[in-house]
Amino acid sequence: MARSKLSRKNPQRASKLKTFWKDLAKLPKKNIFASTFALLIVLVITAVGFSAQNNPKSIDSTSSSTNSPDPERQTESAVSASPKASASPKSSPTPSAQPVYADNWLGFEQPLSTCQLQETQNITGAGAKGFPARQSIPSTGNIKIAIIPVDFSNAVGSGDPQTLFRDDVNQMVSWAQHFSRGKLSYEVDLSATSWVRAPRGADWYTCTACGKGSSVDKQPREVAIQELITAADPIYDFTGVDYVYFVLPEEAELQYGTAPIGGGNFNSSEGQFFALAYGEMGAGTGYRADRTRIWDHVVHEILHGQGFISHGPSNGSGYYITTDNWGASKAVTSWEAFLNGWFDSNEVLCLNKDSLNKEVFISLDTIDNFGAGKESAMIRLNSQEILIVERRGPGPFTNLCSTCYRPTESGFTAYKVNVNAAYYRDDSDPNGDSQNFWSYLGPQGKPIITSYVEYSGVRVTRISDTQVKISVS
- Span 52-101, pLDDT tens digits: 333 333 323 322 333 333 333 232 222 222 223 333 334 334 445 567 89
**Which domain-ending residue is among 276, 305, 334?**
305
Residue 422 lies in a domain: yes
Task: Specify whether the CB–CB gap between 395 and 385 falls below 8 A.
Answer: no
Q: What percent of the chain has pLDDT over 90?
A: 75
Average of pLDDT values for 144-163?
97
> Are 315 and 286 within one domain?
no
Same domain, 297 and 328: no
CB 179 within 8 A of CB 132: no
Other Cβ atoms less than 10 A from the Cβ of 38: the count is 15
Domain match, 249 and 341 both: no
- Distance separating alpha carbons of residues 256 and 23, to the nearest angstrom: 109
18 and 151 both lie in a single domain: no
One-letter amino acid at 351 equals L
Q: Can you give the residue range of the structural domain that contains 269?
A: 141-305
What percent of the chain clears pLDDT 70, i.e. is strictly above it? 79
Query: How far out from the chain centre does Cα 90 lie?
Result: 18
- What's the number of domains the chain is made of? 3
Nearest in space to 406 (alpha carbons), one of 434, 447, 366: 447
Asked whether residue 295 falls in the same domain as residue 386, the answer is no
Beta carbons of 350 and 322 less than 8 angstroms apart: no
The C-alpha atoms of residue 320 and residue 331 are separated, in whole angstroms, by 5
pTM as predicted: 0.80
The pLDDT assigned to 211 comes to: 93
Tally of CB atoms within 10 A around 63: 10
pLDDT number for residue 20: 40
CA distance 449 to 131: 28
Q: What pLDDT, on a 0 to 100 scale, did the predictor assign at position 369?
A: 97
Report which of 318, 311, 331, 457 is spatially closest to residue 401, judged by C-alpha positions: 318
Same domain, 172 and 299: yes
How far apart CA 352 and CA 383 sit, in angstroms, is 11
Q: Is 299 left (phi over 0), alpha (psi -120 to 50) or beta?
A: alpha
Residues 316 and 292 grouped into a single domain: no
Q: 49 and 115 share a domain?
A: no
Q: What is the largest CA-CA distance in the chain?
A: 123
Q: Are residues 281 and 328 in the same domain?
A: no
If asked whether residues 159 and 301 sit together in one domain, one would say yes
Domain annotation covers residue 70: no
pLDDT band at 290 (very low <50, low <70, confident <90, very high): confident
Give the pLDDT confidence of 58-71 residue by residue, as tens digits. 323 322 333 333 33
pLDDT at 82 (0 to 100): 29
